[in-house]
Amino acid sequence: MSLVPLATAPIVKPVAGGWQLVIAALLAIALIVVLITFGKVHPFLALIFGALTVGIVAGENINDVLTSFTTGFGTTAAGVGALIALGAMFAKLLADSGGADQIVDTIVGRSSVRGLPWAMAGVGALIGLPMFFEIGLVLLMPVIYLVARRAQVSVITIGIPTLAGLSAMHGLVPPHPGPLLAIQTLNADLGVTLMLGVLVAIPTVVVSGPLFGRLAGRWVDVPAPEIFEGREEKAVADRPSFATTLVTVLLPVVLMMAKAIADIIIDDPDNTVQQVFDVIGNPFVALLVAVVVAMFTFGKGSGMDKEKIGSSIAASLPPIAGILLIVSAGGGFKQVLVDTGIGTLLAEWAEGANVSVLLLAWVVAVLIRLATGSATVATITASALMLGLVDGLSQGETSLVVLAIGSGSVFFSHVNDAGFWLVKEYFGLSIGQTIKSWSLMETVLSVTGLIFVLLLGIVI
């Protein structure tokens, strides 16, 4: 896939002239950047002000702008909010049951010293499937320290592969908020995006994780801090088994992939088998089933009673309130952009300039990521701007656009990204060392992801 035919551009009549719409979008993005980066305003509020700016500068009636925003906010909250909540419940049960520790100890315990970076990349990717990046990082930091001391290597040599696994899942694979929002915005097929996302993520993690980590460990040779030596864990006997944990973690992924495969092989909406897979592979149903199963495999299986299981699930929701608001406000911002008709203009420009839609999607996400430091904001904005370019594309092609945006959204984390400071402090690095390790790893991950997306685009 390369160029977007002009005839496929959606019919959204621009509310103003081309330059006025471009200026409106640029001013809104600039305002969001300034508010988040310099004003330290919460992204939820920044996105609201950005949406209002787009509409007002474009010349829309303020009531129409408010209607667009609230419509987009509500649609996004309804479509993505429940999935994020279910994902958080599942991840909390995984952590509280000791299932995450079981995965780590089993994989790392069976690895040689030379194979530890590869094992930790696998651990990061597996833990990263159900967990948000920040939660996975906090959970795995004690393990990174202990493994680095066991191997007597730089904490970077072990940490970078782990972070690559976590970050790749966060940016490329649903049900993480960024990919989910891009899928909803661009009307991509979740199952197809999931399959292609895993295909892209595996080689991307290999290149940006163990391979790059070997180099980064030489550039930044930092011993593991002498902390977390006696970390508190659930006793091995109280944990769910490795097999049980692995099956439960992969359950929602398998259900969603099964739906995509059934849609491709059967391709008959009236077929009973396909209808069954359409239900169980629906992301809401797949995650709901996974949570119910986890209540038994993780909860009951680790000795939790009903009260502890309920408390664990309840405790998973407050930390994601901010994420839900940001994602929903992003949906409102997206809808205002769409209703101004700027997507139509961008599609016409891309056709005239002979620009690859995949490359354009990546570049837009990179620019927003560098400016705001937020992968979620980058995904929200890039998805909205790409909406006019995916109409008429096949499911596979649209999914590749989602993955191109996801790859661009993690490009070069620096000082305006909370993840940058989280990594810096946990690893005990200077700003320069953090840039030479973490920031470059994110860049390698982003570029490698784009390369594999482009390669898939040749055959899809």
Cα–Cα distances (Å) from 344 to 8, 14, 20, 350, in that order, read 10, 7, 14, 10
Alpha helices in 238-356 (DSSP H): 242-265, 272-280, 283-294, 306-315, 321-340, 342-353
Determine, yes or no, domain membership for 38: yes
Tokens 């040749």, residue located: 458
**For 222-236, what is each residue's pLDDT tens digit?**
887 665 444 445 565
Say whether pLDDT at 185 is over 60.
Answer: yes
Least confident of 103-107, 305-309, 361-365, 451-455: 103-107
Q: Which of 170, 172, 156 is nearest to 117 (CA)?
A: 156
Cα–chain-centroid distance for residue 274? 28
* Domain extent for 312: 6-459
The pLDDT of 415-430, averaged and rounded, is 81
Q: Comparing 201 with 75, which gets the higher pLDDT? A: 201
pLDDT confidence band for 216 (50 / 70 / 90): very high
Is 341 domain-assigned? yes
Residue 351 has a pLDDT of 59
Q: What is the pLDDT of residue 233?
A: 54
Residue 1 lies in a domain: no
Number of folded domains that form the chain? 1
Average pLDDT over residues 441-446: 98
**Domain membership flag for residue 43:** yes
Query: Which region among 229-233, 320-324, 369-373, 374-378 has the lowest average model confidence (pLDDT)?
Result: 229-233
- Please report whether residue 408 resides in a domain: yes
The model's pLDDT over 55-79, given as tens digits with 9 standing for 90+, comes to: 999 989 999 999 999 998 998 888 7
The yes-or-no verdict on residue 43 having pLDDT over 90 is no
**In the prediction, which pLDDT does 235 show?**
60
Predicted pLDDT of residue 368 = 81
| Residue 444 belongs to some domain of the structure | yes
184 inside domain: yes
Contact indicator for 127, 139 with CB cutoff of 8 Å: yes
Q: CA of 396: how far to CAs of 13, 201, 256, 275, 425, in Å?
A: 27, 16, 15, 21, 40
pLDDT at 237: 62
What is residue 7's predicted lDDT score, i.e. its pLDDT? 33
What's the rounded mean pLDDT across residues 392-417? 91
Dist. CA 14–CA 12, nearest whole Å: 6
CA separation for the pair 213, 192 (Å, rounded): 30
